[in-house]
Amino acid sequence: MRHLPALWAIGIVLLLSGCVTTKHRAPGDPDVSGFLNKSIEVNGKVSKYVIYVPDGYTPSKSWPLVVFLHGAGERGDDGMMQSQVGISPAIRKFPERFPAIVLMPQCPTARFWDAILEDMKAQMAATREEYNIDEKRISLTGLSMGGYGAWMWGATESDTFAALLPICGGGDLGDIAKRISADVDDRFGTLEERIPKLATLPIWAFHGAADSVVPVEQSRVMVDKVKAAGGNVKYTEYEGVDHNSWDRAYSSKEAIEWLLSQHK
């Protein structure tokens, strides 16, 4: 194999890693921005995650925090795959639309979000400690398996999150366990217990009408149930779109502006 020129090799490494700081200084320094690799020890184990810090971040003002939950295909322990799909490509394409800190946890292989609830809470606490976060503007979004996570964790943490933006997900524990072939415990409570809590939050859900992986009915059911409980729910269904409705949703200027404008 021929050796690539040095600059090409460096470029390929950065592209594959996806988590690159624009400058190398101390964590929390206002001059450090971009996609940053992070880790924290929780119950004796190291938990890896990614933080996006917008260019121009300054601790002199408070910033919204968006928590992003990835899909089943990005599960693992490398701490980086979750920054390759979903909200991150939209951030790279439209950085001016994301004046916010974005937290990206990673779910272990063959597991669901219930397996790392303590890790995610610890990551959120560390992020709120390290950066000047507006406690009234913390929102949750996710796609596919992460869309299910947003519907479920968003309900159990309704006092924390100001808004939810679930994409091509659902709220049925049995359904997601079957789809990802994983055991899911009852830490999120029953659907009947979660619906009243979801009704207290602004929600904008998205789904492709032709989704062949997660049927569109999963979002329709959740939207109808939350509306019936008196909730404030917006719903966008993309006609003819299959499972990848997230690229379109996260590229929507209106949707991101809506998410970042919500507050407690």
DSSP 164-224: EEEES----HHHHHHHHT----STT--HHHHHHHHTTSEEEEEEETT-SSS-THHHHHHHH
**Residue 1 belongs to a domain:** no
pTM for this entry: 0.88
| Domain CATH number, residue 124 | 3.40.50.1820
- What is the number of structural domains in the chain? 1
**Residue 41 belongs to a domain:** yes
pLDDT digits (tens, 9 = 90+) for 41-51: 999 999 999 99
Confidence (pLDDT) at 32: 79
**Residue 175 belongs to a domain:** yes
Confidence (pLDDT) at 92: 97
**Residue 85 belongs to a domain:** yes
Q: Considering only residues 27 and 51, tell me which one the structure prediction assigns the higher pLDDT.
A: 51
Q: How far is CA 249 from CA 128, 139, 182, 226, 238, in A?
A: 26, 16, 27, 21, 9
Q: Work out the mean pLDDT of the chain and round it to a whole number.
A: 90
**Residue 242 belongs to a domain:** yes
**Residue 133 belongs to a domain:** yes
Q: Residue 188 above 60 pLDDT?
A: yes
Per the structure, the complete domain to which residue 196 belongs is given by 6-261
Average pLDDT of the segment spanning 242-255: 98
pLDDT digits (tens, 9 = 90+) for 85-99: 999 999 999 999 999
**Residue 78 belongs to a domain:** yes
Confidence (pLDDT) at 185: 83
**Residue 126 belongs to a domain:** yes
